[in-house]
């Protein structure tokens, strides 16, 4: 982290006290986790505190941690990196992916005044339906962002002025960005000339494996030959 980010982190913690927990970031961006009960209080401080002034909510996204850190498939020659896509060496952090901490919402904030960025993560209350307070009164841009997270993940936002679907069709069943939602969907749509309208029917696509399974056995991936001198 740069000195500027470390300075900002100190200012954020000084203003918000013990309400925030810093989360390690691999992309050199400042990230904090906020308890759901303190979400609105912390967001107002981040917006109104002169030393912070995060006036804009740039983005808000739902996250489903179901199967986080689990293998997609197992094989005797799979590794924890490279082409095999295996993630067997990953562990769930602080219960991530469990029923109690399956859904989270991530907030991307921008301070135009100080030209700084900040990311917040809040875990949803309960397993089903997941619930968080709406921040639409703090940042107006949250209105449609929260509707999108509700539509795609089924996250409910307490206090939202008009929480309804925004991307899927009327009467759509389920939330397509959830990890357990089938990639082929549940229904398909077609126009029925006899009925003169669009009809919904059970999906007819056959389920298939979409995770690439690449196993290479040639000498380029032999550990004994990895550092062997090359000739020619």
> Considering the domain boundaries, does residue 118 fall inside one?
yes
Pairing assessment for the beta strands 116-123 and 131-133 based on DSSP bridges: unpaired
CA torsion 46-51-56-58 (nearest 10°) is -80
Nearest to 16 by CA among 42, 43, 52, 53: 42
pTM of this structure: 0.73
**Longest Cα pair distance anywhere in the chain, in angstroms?**
73
Q: Measure the CA–CA gap between 172 and 186, rounded to whole angstroms.
A: 10
Query: In the predicted model, is pLDDT for residue 63 greater than 50?
Result: yes
> Considering the domain boundaries, does residue 200 fall inside one?
no
> Considering the domain boundaries, does residue 24 fall inside one?
yes
pLDDT per residue over 75-123, tens digit each?
555 544 444 343 333 334 445 555 568 999 999 999 999 999 999 999 9
Q: Measure the CA–CA gap between 63 and 102, rounded to whole angstroms.
A: 8
> Considering the domain boundaries, does residue 213 fall inside one?
no
> Considering the domain boundaries, does residue 210 fall inside one?
no
Give the DSSP H or E segment for 56: strand 56-64
Kindly report which listed range (50-59, 136-145, 183-192) carries the lowest average pLDDT score: 183-192
> Considering the domain boundaries, does residue 172 fall inside one?
no
> Considering the domain boundaries, does residue 38 fall inside one?
yes
Query: In the predicted model, is pLDDT for residue 168 greater than 60?
Result: yes
Cis amide prior to 129 (ω within 30 degrees): yes
What is the CATH classification number for the domain harbouring 157?
3.30.460.80
Confidence at residue 217, expressed as pLDDT on a 0 to 100 scale: 59
89, 100 Cβ separation under 8 angstroms:
no
Split into its structural domains, the chain has a count of 1
> Considering the domain boundaries, does residue 48 fall inside one?
yes
Which domain, by its residues, includes 37?
A: 3-66+102-167
Cβ burial of 228 (10 Å; 0-12, 13-18, 19+) is exposed
């Amino acid at each position: 982290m740069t000195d500027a980010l470390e300075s900002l982190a100190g200012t954020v913690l000084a203003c918000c006290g013990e309400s925030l927990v810093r989360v390690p970031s691999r992309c050199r961006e400042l990230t904090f986790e906020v308890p759901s009960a303190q979400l609105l209080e912390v967001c107002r401080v981040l917006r109104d505190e002169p030393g912070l002034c995060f006036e804009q909510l740039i983005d808000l996204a739902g996250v489903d941690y179901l199967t986080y850190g689990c293998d997609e498939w197992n094989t005797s020659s799979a590794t924890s990196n490279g082409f095999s896509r295996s993630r067997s060496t990953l562990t769930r952090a602080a219960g991530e992916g469990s029923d109690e901490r399956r859904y989270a919402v991530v907030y991307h904030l921008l301070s135009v005044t100080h030209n700084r960025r900040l990311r917040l993560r809040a875990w949803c209350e309960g397993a089903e339906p997941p619930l968080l307070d709406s921040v639409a009164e703090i940042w107006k841009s949250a209105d449609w962002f929260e509707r999108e997270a509700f539509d795609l993940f089924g996250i409910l936002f307490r206090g939202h002025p008009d929480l309804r679907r925004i991307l899927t069709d009327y009467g759509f069943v389920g939330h397509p960005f959830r990890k357990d939602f089938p990639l082929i969907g549940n229904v398909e749509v077609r126009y029925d000339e006899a009925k003169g309208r669009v009809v919904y029917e059970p999906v007819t696509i056959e389920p298939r494996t979409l995770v690439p399974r690449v196993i290479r056995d040639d000498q380029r991936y032999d550990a004994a030959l990895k550092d062997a001198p090359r000739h020619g």
